[in-house]
Amino acid sequence: MSTQKSHPEPSQIVALLPGGDVEALAETLVAFANADGGTLYVGVAADGQPTGEVFPEEFNAVVHQAESLCRPPIPVDWRQMEAGAAFIFAGRIQRSPELHALADGRVLVRAGIENRPLSGDQVRQLATTRSAGDYEAEVLPGATRQDLDPELLAEFVQKWAERQGRPLTRPLDELLHAQGWLSPEGRPTIAGMLLWGENPQLFVPRSGLTFVRFEGTKMRGAGGEPGYGRRVEVRGPLPRIIQRTWEIIQEEIQVGAVVRSLEREENWAYPPTAIREALVNAVAHRDYRLRGRAIEVRIFDDRLEISSPGGLPGFITIDNIVDEHFSRNPRIVNGLFQWGYIEELGLGVDLMIEEMVGAGHEPPQFRDTPFSFTVTFQAARKQWLRQRRLSTNERQAKALDYIQKHEHITNGEYQELCPNVSSETLRLDLVDLVKKGVLLKIGAKRGTYYILK
């Protein structure tokens, strides 16, 4: 027996049932097994308080009836706890490689704090992904427990204790096994190696990240040569990849600061929370079976792109990506969640959209192919112009200011702005802005004028 010290809250991986409702119990078992797995507390109200409605002598019968409604059966690790005079039963359900349904044919998945039934098309799509197996749970050939980073694990234990509100009292390897990061024999799984390995890329090639900062709006320069000004290969375990990449991104999207009421406020080309959320999502949900390429973060003058190998997982599509949640790698997701990189499961896309729109940007754009998923953040028009000014001369900056006010500029108007500069120099300035993708030339000869592209 153990004493319940903290009150759980319902979430993507936590469900609360006040009493022994057989149907609700069966629905939750199926929903967890089909989604990310989770913990089901029976005898706990929605506010996290014990109800005292469930007793040991009747609980076994309730569980047996609920399990008989699940097709195929779902293994559950049950624990009995006491909170004062009340009993609480906690069941741990793992993500299953099989597709589970209820006796009446319904297929459910956990979505936020709900058990949501799937449509026929969604069921077929989810069944197709199940056939690929549970890759992150596979044991890595040649890997041993000694290949995990002891310092990183010590950091994780501290984060885990902070998030749980209590110290870790059981052996660390027991926790690693329970979370699917070590096999029963004590060997690292793919999820365990990616999260806690000293050198994960030795065992899972191309599991790192490539960062590229391009000069301009295209991947190639005017002469066809690579157009990037900065390129960094980020390697290591996933928490370190997120941490290092986020440091690099901040260096690139920070555009200054202002002081208000004696407090310094940073100015950003993009809302930092939205970009960080997309970065974490890419690391958590990429398909690590695809070893031909790494995650890519690409920054251009007018946009930022984050692309991860593998299309959308499970039954997720571009159309339902805001409302639905499904993890390709629930053990990796859980590790990043326990670490604190993921604040709340299932709300990443909503947060990206909210942050972008709230900062005056267009919503992020999503592109899904069988082998990649890309999120694109467009720079706001004023911010884009500001970025372009960083690579223009003083005369060109005047031209861009003029176009912002008057919507276009002619050669004659440019000469009026810069009366002490030769007409040929000014013409070459405008040609340069066209080549950089900043301006678009309209008309010919005396009727020529320039607008923002």
Minimal CA–CA distance to 89: which of 32, 51, 33? 51
In the prediction, which pLDDT does 314 show? Answer: 83
Kindly indicate the confidence band of residue 199, based on its pLDDT and cuts at 50, 70 and 90: very high
323 vs 196, more confident: 196
Q: Determine the Cα–Cα distance for residues 333 and 39; give it in Å rounded to an integer.
A: 15
In the prediction, which pLDDT does 327 show? Answer: 86
Q: Determine the Cα–Cα distance for residues 335 and 160; give it in Å rounded to an integer.
A: 9
Minimal CA–CA distance to 191: which of 12, 335, 36? 335
- Whether residue 332 has pLDDT greater than 90: yes
Residue 203: CA count within 13 A, CB half-sphere: 25
* 363 conformational bin, left if phi > 0, alpha if psi -120 to 50, beta if neither: beta
Among 79-93, 334-348, 363-377, 422-436, the minimum mean pLDDT is found in 334-348
Give the type of residue at 311: G
- Whether residue 129 has pLDDT greater than 80: no
Minimal CA–CA distance to 365: which of 314, 302, 313, 452? 302
In the prediction, which pLDDT does 11 show? Answer: 86
Q: Per-residue b/e over 438-453, b at no fewer than 16 CB within 10 Å?
A: bbeeeeeeeeebbebe
Please give the mean pLDDT across all residues of the chain.
87
Query: Cα–Cα distances in Å, from 171 out to 135, 167, 176, 432?
Result: 26, 11, 9, 64
- CATH node for 14-119: 3.30.950.30
Give the type of residue at 87: F
Same CATH fold assignment for domains 14-119 and 392-452: no
| DSSP characters over 359-397 | TTPPPPEEEEETTEEEEEEEPPHHHHHHHHHTTS-HHHH
In the prediction, which pLDDT does 346 show? Answer: 66
Give the type of residue at 293: R
Query: Cα–Cα distances in Å, from 271 out to 20, 214, 251, 297?
Result: 46, 20, 13, 16
Decide yes or no: CATH 3.30.565.60 for domain 209-382: yes
240 vs 47, more confident: 240
Q: DSSP class of residue 437?
A: T
Average pLDDT over every residue of 88-105? 92
Q: How far is CA 293 from the centre of its chain?
A: 18
Residues facing 365 on adjacent strands? 376
Residues facing 117 on adjacent strands? 108
In the prediction, which pLDDT does 5 show? Answer: 42
Structural domain boundaries of the chain?
Answer: 14-119, 145-203, 209-382, 392-452
Q: Determine the Cα–Cα distance for residues 381 and 34; give it in Å rounded to an integer.
A: 43
Task: Identify the helix (H) or strand (E) that includes residue 188.
Answer: none
Say if residues 417 and 399 touch (Cβ distance below 8 Å): yes
pLDDT tens by residue, 223-270: 666 667 889 999 999 999 999 999 999 999 887 555 555 565 667 889
Q: DSSP class of residue 132?
A: T
| Residue length of the chain | 453
pLDDT tens by residue, 427-436: 898 988 888 7
- Whether residue 4 has pLDDT greater than 60: no
Interaxial angle between packed helices 150-164 and 330-339, expressed in degrees from 0 to 180 and rounded to the nearest 10: 70
43 vs 315, more confident: 43
In the prediction, which pLDDT does 380 show? Answer: 76
Average pLDDT over every residue of 304-315? 92
Decide yes or no: CATH 1.10.10.10 for domain 392-452: yes
Q: Determine the Cα–Cα distance for residues 211 and 294; give it in Å rounded to an integer.
A: 10
In the prediction, which pLDDT does 195 show? Answer: 97
CB-neighbour burial class of residue 293 (10 A; exposed 0-12, middle 13-18, buried 19+): middle
Q: Which residue has the tokens 């980073």?
A: 149
| Strands of 409-410's sheet in order across | 409-410, 449-452, 439-442
232 vs 358, more confident: 232
Read off the tokens for 102. 């209820």
Q: What is the Cα Rg of the chain in Å? A: 27
Q: Determine the Cα–Cα distance for residues 145 and 149; give it in Å rounded to an integer.
A: 9
In the prediction, which pLDDT does 1 show? Answer: 37
- What are the helix (H) ranges across 168-271? 172-178, 190-196, 200-203, 238-253
